[in-house]
Amino acid sequence: RIRRRKTDVRRASVLRWGEEKNVDKKQVIAMTDYIIINGLIVNGKNEPPFSGNVVIENGVIREITKPEAIPENFPPERILDAKGGYVTPGFIDIHRHGDWKALCGGDDELLNRQGITSVVNGNCGLSVAPVGKKYAGEILDFLSSVTGDLPGEYLEEDREGKRFCPAAESFASYMDALAATKRSVNTGMLAGNGTIRAAAAGYAPGRLTKEELHLVWKNLEESLSAGALGVSLGVAYAPEFEYDVQGFTEALMPLKNADIPITTHVRSEGDGFVESVREVIQVAKSLHIPLHVSHVKCIGKKNWGVRRREILELFRQAREEGVSLDFDLYPYLTGSTQLVHLLPPESQEGGAEAILERLQDSVYRWHLTQILRKPSRHFENIVELAGFDQIYASTLHSEEYKEMTGKSIAEIAKIRKEDPYDTLYDILIAEKCQATMLDTIASEEDMLHFLKDPYANVISDATYPTGGKYHPRVYAAFPKVLVDYVREKKIFSIEEAVYKMTGKPAQVLNLEQGILEKGRPADINIFRLENMKVPADFDNPAQFCRGFDYVLVGGEAAVKNDCWKNTGSGKLLRRKK
């Protein structure tokens, strides 16, 4: 009798939706793809977990019911048992550099295996489109140490032997190529402001001509029309360091008064961090647009514990003055970028060929060394801030240096019995500037101080250089937060951490993903926190996370008990017009 009474309650509860829609109960069961039971739901809104079942139909959450709402005679293979674990939205990484990987599905598994169901590439002004035709080869070479080499099937040569890529010529052509790729990850793109300038004027120094500026506007407007989620800036990188506030305001004029965000790598995160943040705030104010500051950190021990309060206060003041402002950061103390980024901006002018020519001049090298030995507010002098013993060559290809991949510049210099400054210049020459580095630059106290801020988002900032070792954040950034700072150190509650990886980043780029509620996409993670493992480290970064019972993308299981398959259910994320 008791069993019958429970069954009646279940049946009455589960068929409520069908009765409201005047649908027969057999049809309700047939229409339902999955029901997730026995889980604690963390809905992505920074609200406490609650018990309930999630009903999925046609890749969408049909409803979230009370725990007893299980259909009678529902097929057991379509019941996903969370076993007392957490049911969360799929994680959203709004800051990656997997532009080329997305076209060949090269990172789908490592994304899904860490619970990432949506990703946004094209960050730091370094998107692989639109490269145009005139400077395409030069741009693709410059980007390769961040995005890797483009897939061979997309590469062509003209009659003169110059490389070009029709799929990257315009933002629309790239998005069309991406739309034809069946991924198990939802994928969006930012239009890189640096690439847009380079397509118009190459890596030449100075202000843009009127013709070049109009071409910048044309490429920007076409990129937005093709579905760019926003515009990324790399103020510290070539060629964008040629802009000042006025230059950025002019170049971004098509955004004026639009609700389209700029996401920006600022000019310096070291001694000039405060001035660099003021610079991008002024740009956002002038154009009346949302601002998102990328991978916030304080570089250099002398800045630890000091700059963070100034930066957060600047953010607060800007919001009071009407600027919509958020920021993000990754949960590591070591960063990753191009080795050439150690040079001051004026040394990077003109592209790789010009850099290499200058580095072979002994007098020029001497003057360059004098600059790098001293503190600077003009640029981010990582050599002075971190030291050569904390700068590691992570991608080396040449016969002369490839065996030293993973060693610090100081170690390589000692082995070769050279001055470390000369070692840096010689590596750049041998590698034709196509080298990357890992640099230990931040403090955990600062990182957690920023991460606790309600406007903070978790990202990976994953780069994909060809050859060498990846940074472990490529494989593990999001679970690392859950393991280190929720489970082990108990710094964040589960709902706080999940919000920073789901609902919050969805707000930044106006995505419909990131929240578990009726009508939202069924991008869902199911896991028990005690089972989660993050084996990726700096010695062996290429290791998948473990512990996800299920990762659903569009209602399809991309991960089931740590086994992965490409569901092809990922969607192309375009800006809502």
The type of residue at 185 is V
Residues 6+ apart with CB under 8 A from 521: 59, 60, 61, 186, 512, 513, 554, 555, 571
Q: What tens digit of pLDDT does each residue of 318-343 get?
A: 999 999 999 999 999 999 989 999 99
Query: Cα–Cα–Cα angle for 236, 321, 576, nearest 5°?
Result: 70
pLDDT over threshold 90, residue 519: yes
Residues 6+ apart with CB under 8 A from 545: 113, 114, 115, 475, 476, 479, 532, 533, 534, 535, 536
Q: What tens digit of pLDDT does each residue of 136-185 get?
A: 989 998 998 899 888 778 878 777 777 778 999 999 999 999 999 999 99
Report, in this order, helix, strand and coil percent for the chain, each rounded to 5: 40, 20, 40
Per-residue confidence band for 190, with pLDDT thresholds at 50, 70 and 90: very high
Retrieve residue 83's tokens: 């076993």
Per-residue confidence band for 23, with pLDDT thresholds at 50, 70 and 90: low
Per-residue confidence band for 350, with pLDDT thresholds at 50, 70 and 90: confident
* CA neighbor of 63 nearest in space, from 533, 473, 520: 520
Residue 11 has what pLDDT? Answer: 44
8 A C-beta contact, residue 118 and residue 188: yes
pLDDT over threshold 80, residue 12: no
- The pTM for the full model equals 0.93
Summarize the confidence of residues 331-356 as an average pLDDT: 91
Most distant CA atoms of the chain, gap in Å: 94
Per-residue confidence band for 14, with pLDDT thresholds at 50, 70 and 90: very low
Summarize the confidence of residues 270-288 as an average pLDDT: 97
Residue 427 has what pLDDT? Answer: 97
Per-residue confidence band for 9, with pLDDT thresholds at 50, 70 and 90: very low
CA dist 444 → 332, 335, 389, 460, 479 (Å)? 8, 13, 19, 16, 17
Residues 6+ apart with CB under 8 A from 2: none
Q: What tens digit of pLDDT does each residue of 367-416 get?
A: 999 999 999 988 899 999 999 999 999 989 999 999 999 999 999 999 99
CA 137 remoteness from chain centre: 25
Residue 92 has what pLDDT? Answer: 99
Summarize the confidence of residues 77-94 as an average pLDDT: 96
DSSP H helical ranges for 469-510: 473-480, 494-501, 503-508
Q: What percent of the chain clears pLDDT 70, i.e. is strictly above it?
A: 95
Residues 6+ apart with CB under 8 A from 147: 97, 98, 99, 100, 101, 126, 128, 463, 464
Q: What tens digit of pLDDT does each residue of 117-141 get?
A: 999 999 999 999 999 999 998 999 8
CA 279 remoteness from chain centre: 23
What's the mean pLDDT when you consider all of the chain? 93
8 A C-beta contact, residue 227 and residue 191: no
Summarize the confidence of residues 503-524 as an average pLDDT: 98
Q: What percent of the chain clears pLDDT 90, i.e. is strictly above it?
A: 83
Summarize the confidence of residues 249-265 as an average pLDDT: 97
Residue 1 has what pLDDT? Answer: 40
Per-residue confidence band for 8, with pLDDT thresholds at 50, 70 and 90: very low
8 A C-beta contact, residue 142 and residue 163: no
pLDDT over threshold 60, residue 349: yes
Residue 377 has what pLDDT? Answer: 85
